[in-house]
């Protein structure tokens, strides 16, 4: 319940009205696993919700994959919170809106989760580089 209390009241109402919605279900599970981390800013939370609900993550992710998905989200959140100042500043909005969460999740679904990536000691830039390399191979017509 601590994770649910962390959510903004508008998000709690939305969650309550859509409890069967897979994007919210997976986000709630991730928030519960990140309970020892600093509070996730609301703008980042909405970005996570949008990215997780736009994917077929719930169909492809089992409980055994939740740990690595949580590591991807943890790296992303830490990166956002260190790169951009917390708060409603235009710079913060730009940092949140321009970081490639959706492409990172694409890579993770296709390759990362099968390789049990990211490793616990991974840093955001190395994971992002792997994702970019994978997307470049796809664009050049390479094999997944």
Average pLDDT for 14-43: 73
Give 122-125 contacts, CB < 8 A, sequence gap 24+.
122/71, 122/75, 123/75, 124/75, 124/76, 124/78, 124/79
Alpha helices in the chain (DSSP H): 2-6, 9-17, 22-33, 42-53, 57-60, 66-83, 90-98, 101-107, 124-139
Is 108 within the bounds of a domain? Answer: yes
Is 93 within the bounds of a domain? Answer: yes
CA 31 to chain centre: 10
Residue with tokens 């730009």: 94
Q: Which residue range forms the structural domain that includes residue 111?
A: 2-139
Q: What percent of the chain has pLDDT over 90?
A: 4
For 60-93, write each residue's pLDDT tens digit: 777 778 888 899 999 988 888 877 655 556 666 6
Is 33 within the bounds of a domain? Answer: yes
141/67 Cα distance (integer angstroms): 31
Is 144 within the bounds of a domain? Answer: no
Domains in the chain, number: 1
Is 22 within the bounds of a domain? Answer: yes
Is 65 within the bounds of a domain? Answer: yes
pTM: 0.76
Is 36 within the bounds of a domain? Answer: yes
Is 94 within the bounds of a domain? Answer: yes
């Amino acid at each position: 319940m601590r994770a649910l209390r962390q959510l903004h009241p508008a998000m709690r109402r939305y969650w309550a009205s859509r409890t069967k919605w897979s994007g919210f279900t997976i986000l709630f599970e991730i928030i519960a696993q990140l309970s020892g981390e600093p509070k996730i800013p609301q703008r980042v939370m909405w970005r996570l919700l949008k990215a997780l609900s736009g994917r077929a993550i719930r169909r492809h992710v089992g409980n055994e994959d939740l740990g690595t998905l949580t590591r991807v989200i943890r790296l992303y959140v830490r990166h956002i919170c260190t790169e951009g100042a917390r708060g409603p500043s235009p710079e913060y909005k730009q940092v949140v809106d321009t970081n490639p969460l959706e492409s990172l999740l694409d890579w993770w679904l296709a390759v990362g989760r099968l390789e049990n990536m990211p490793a616990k000691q991974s840093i955001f830039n190395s994971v992002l580089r792997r994702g970019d390399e994978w997307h470049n191979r796809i664009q050049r017509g390479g094999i997944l």
